[in-house]
Amino acid sequence: MGKAGGGKGRPDLLRARLERGMTQEEAADAVGVAVGTWGRWERSEQGIRPHSRRKIAAVFEAESAEVEQWIEGWALGETSSWPVAEYGDTSTAASVKSAALLWRYEMDESRRHVLAALPFVPSVLAGWLTAWNYGSPPQAIAQRGNRHTVGQADIDQINEARKVFSSLDDQFGAGLVRPTVVRYLDSTVTPLLRGRYDDRVGAGLMSAAAGLTWLAGWTAFDLNQHGQAQQHFGQALRLAKTGNDPLTGAWVLTTMTLQALHLDQATLAVWLARAGTDTARRAQASPRVMALMLAREAWATAQQGKAAETHDRHGAKQVERLLVDAERAYAQGTTDSDPAWIARYDEAEFKAQIGRCWSMLGEHRRAADCAEAAVAEFGNRFPRSAQRNRLHTAEAYLEMGELEQALAAARAAIPATKALTSARSTDLIRQFAGRLEPYKGSMMVREFRDHLNHELAA
């Protein structure tokens, strides 16, 4: 494992041992490791795995948080924005330290629930956006860890792992894949970040780590753990800044936009969406990237303006202009400069997002057409996306007063809802069922609700 603590040792771990009157040999024997291993731990020349940390806590009769402070040099903060603290420090050492601590707490059974219970904190976003937009990446990314020399093969491995994990997430939902993602971050990515690399490799490593951290955030989002998701998105943004990778940063920002939309934080969504669009534009992003950014900005703008309710034609025109620009960019096709992550946002996903915008504008027929086209293209490749768009189709038909077609579309979404380990997917179909309240006297509605409750209970 890579060097931790920047070569300054772990004085707090040494102090804890001495306070208990133990020699290195006695401490090593009590924890069940070789004395040489304990010595390397105290000198910060070797990482300490989760099961060993738990043993130290038991032997020293200490709380897990206290042991983390001895090892990592800092502890759980007092604010709900922890652990993405001091975001303005984008040095390699600071970014690696905060990332490693976040992933370590994910693996600590006694502390994992703290992350899962964190609330979404809107107030931290202003600081993150300021740091992203106006902060400077470090002049040097290189790190001189004394254990593993990191190369391009290590970076490729992280990127391939993200693709595999993302595919599993698409097929089965976040509940299945998320534990594996965070375990990989802690056991594989942390030692690499603490290894030895030059500026070029370091930049690639930061980008790869940002991409996998994005996935940790995405899977938390899919499980409705929104504070936890926010922590990982913030950490991904920080790693992207450290690696001077604006395209990965734009990807993170547009996903944060989606989370804000889901939480009905429309104003925040607009801020995040515009930051993503501006970042991509400054980086001279490919047309496909710009299409995604513009479509997401259109969605956020539409939700903020609520044009369907307010009949605000000026706001509607603004959304329509963004949609025209997005469609024009998408029509330019793929290019060699497309980042790997944009491949997931294919024509089906693009149509789905355009459909959400039309729905917000009250154009429910167009929204239904987009959602149905997306479902046809998703097929069995992306069951969660197909499920979501079947429900968007159902919502559009319900808005048009076509109850039978709405129920048929929603009924078709039930099997995927059962199969997916996705809290967000379950919430969406329950929300649709709640919108049927004005029709509760209908036999069709009663049958649909009974069928839904039976299937989800099963």
Q: Which two tokens stand for residue 18?
A: 């001495």
199 contact partners, CB below 8 Å, separation of at least 6: 140, 141, 142
Q: What is the pLDDT of residue 84?
A: 47
Q: What is the pLDDT of residue 181?
A: 97
| Superfamily per CATH, domain 1-75 | lambda repressor-like DNA-binding domains (1.10.260.40)
Cβ atoms within 10 Å of 77's Cβ, excluding its own: 12
Query: Of 254, 213, 250, 219, which Cα lies nearest the Cα of 232?
Result: 213
- Cα–Cα distance, 270 to 318 (Å, whole number): 13
Predicted TM-score (pTM) of this structure: 0.81
Q: Which two tokens stand for residue 36?
A: 């040489």
Domain boundaries, the chain: 1-75, 82-244
Q: What is the pLDDT of residue 183?
A: 96
Q: What is the pLDDT of residue 57?
A: 87
Residue 177 carries which side chain, given as an amino acid letter?
V
Q: What is the pLDDT of residue 5?
A: 38
- Cα–Cα distance, 427 to 443 (Å, whole number): 23
345 near 292, Cβ under 8 Å? yes
| Residue count (the chain) | 458
Q: What is the pLDDT of residue 118?
A: 81
Q: What is the pLDDT of residue 430?
A: 95
pLDDT in tens, the chain (458 residues): 333 434 457 888 988 898 888 999 999 999 999 999 999 898 888 878 777 888 898 899 887 767 877 886 644 443 434 444 456 677 899 899 889 989 988 888 767 777 787 888 888 888 889 889 888 899 999 988 767 899 999 999 999 999 999 999 999 999 999 999 999 999 999 999 999 999 999 999 999 999 999 999 999 999 999 999 999 999 999 999 999 999 999 999 999 999 999 999 999 999 999 999 999 999 999 999 999 999 999 999 999 887 556 666 777 899 999 999 999 999 999 999 999 999 989 999 999 999 999 999 999 999 999 999 999 999 888 999 999 999 999 999 999 999 999 999 999 999 999 999 999 999 999 999 999 999 999 999 999 999 999 999 87
Query: Of 106, 69, 97, which Cα lies nearest the Cα of 187?
Result: 106
- Cα–Cα distance, 263 to 387 (Å, whole number): 19
